[in-house]
Chains A and B, each alone.
Chain A
Amino acid sequence: MATQRMQVTDQDLLYFVNTIKSTSRYDFSEYSDKSLKRRLQKILEDYNLDLTSLLTNLRLDKDFLEKVVKEITVNTTELFRDPPVWHLLRSRILPRFKSNKTINIWHAGCSSGQEVYSMMILLNEMELLDRAKIFATDLNTDVLEIAKQGVYKYRFNLGYLDNFDKVIKHNPLNFEEYNDVPYEKYFDIDKVRDTITMKKFLTERPIFRKHDLVVDGNIFFAKFDLILCRNVIIYFNYSLQNKVFELFHSNLYPKGILLLGMHETILGPWATRFERLGQAYIKK
């Protein structure tokens, strides 16, 4: 039950954000209030602390602060989350890169890596993987470790297989076409150990790095053909969203593409700098 015993106030949130800001390089002051409040609430409940004790611990204990920061970020993801977006990638977006020598792709906010593996699987089916350079970042180093391993729970994630079938086995442009691509081509399923394990040719390919969209710029000394940033900016306020759009825009090649989440849009000044194609924004 969502009983909220101690209601976190705006003032509490401000103290919390300021404490983190003054004792670390993290800055949550431009995060969206509603979600941040809920995360703070959860942290207070999980550690059974009142706000004063939490703030004291944050100031005194760097490891504790790192732990709390990790718990603030939301890490929901799945293999081929939102199949219609992957259909768009397959039919309208990735074919644009067919004559490229290299395809630079940045997964900003990659969480535990399911999106990165989905992308590599799709690229491989389209015979584009060899040309792709995959960069993937997240604020949370724990989820990055999981991403590098590429091992996921099996039973909890049966939806992954449905999504795989929808995106990989069916052709969105031709519903009569069916390619029986075996799962073992990309991952091994172990029902006893309850795991899905990505193949080595996939896990060894991406470059995973810690990165904070709030304070870090482009850390890769490369520009990108495609940037995926899905269900990340919903946690940012309008002003921070615009900063992030600027970062993405300036690090995309001309005609490069920014892909946002299913229910995210560019509002405000950066909207005119991109041409929209569904969830994809093409740099003008």
Chain B
Amino acid sequence: MYKAVIIGGSAGSFQVITRILHSLPPTFPLPILLCLHRLKHVRSGFVEALSIKSAIPIIEPNDKEQIKAGKAYLAPANYHMYVELGNKIALSTEDPVNHSRPSIDLSFITAAQVYREKLVGIILSGANRDGAYGLKKIKDLGGLAIVQNPDECQVRTMTEASLKMTPVDFVYNTNEIIKFLQNIKA
């Protein structure tokens, strides 16, 4: 039914992402694209920290790397991460968008253009508005839009901005996001 899941998060999303990755089976049938804001100069250790509890491998991809099911691709620090036709990752060092590099909007928009109605987009806790437009784009192109319940978020700016811009499909707590992903089909 779906071809990929893309997740965007910023301040307050690290623990949520960790819980989600911890709860997925190693046989997870889709690729997961992760676009998370982090400090530009803190690059080592992030993948390792996420990997400790994750059943699926987490990769900071190279440019033009083939996207495969059952793996999580984390946008490398200081690069934008795009999805290209042919199911490949593309990286870019273009100027920050919404003061962010990686920008969630850019990852979401390019993924939406490639996967269209076969994409699930999820916006988590965060302190800016990056991602709101990207989630709208996913919805516009027929994909499924999920937003973490702002009441559960450490910082609610990003989820509220998303809800304001798009009539999303689901507003879920972390547990419900996990349950949804555990039942998702390729």
Are B103 and A34 in contact (CB-based, < 8 A)? Answer: no
Taking CB atoms and an 8 Å cut-off, the chain A residues in 27-66 that contact chain B are 32-35, 38-39
Across the interface, do B94 and A32 meet the contact criterion of CB distance under 8 Å? no
Interface of B (DSSP majority class): loop
Chain A count of residues within 8 A CB distance of the other chain: 26
- B95 and A159 within 8 A (CB): no
* A33 contacts B92, C-beta separation under 8 Å: no
Q: Is A234 in contact with B93, judged by CB distance below 8 angstroms?
A: yes
Interfacial residues of chain A within 55-97, with CB under 8 A of chain B in the complex:
74, 76, 84
Q: Would you call A99 an interface residue if the criterion is a C-beta within 8 Å of the partner chain's C-beta atoms?
A: no
Is the beta-carbon distance between A263 and B79 smaller than 8 angstroms? yes
Alpha-carbon distance between A39 and B92 when the two chains are bound, in angstroms: 11
Interface size on B, as a range, is 20 to 34
Given contacts A34-B84, A159-B40, A264-B62, contact A2 B93 (CB under 8 A): no
CB pair B95–A233 under 8 Å, yes or no, is no
Q: Are A74 and B40 touching (Cβ within 8 A)?
A: no
Q: Which residues of B contact A263 (CB under 8 A)?
A: 60-63, 76, 79, 91
For the complex with contacts A35-B82, A74-B94, A84-B44, 15 further pairs of A-B residues with Cβ separation under 8 Å are A1-B98, A2-B97, A2-B105, A2-B133, A33-B85, A34-B84, A35-B90, A76-B95, A159-B41, A234-B63, A234-B90, A234-B93, A262-B76, A265-B62, A265-B63
What is A's interface to B at a CB cutoff of 8 Å?
Answer: 1-4, 32-35, 38-39, 74, 76, 84, 159, 162, 231, 233-235, 238, 261-265, 267
Interface residues of B (CB under 8 A from A): 40-41, 44, 60-64, 76, 79, 82, 84-85, 90-95, 97-98, 103, 105-106, 109-110, 129, 132-134
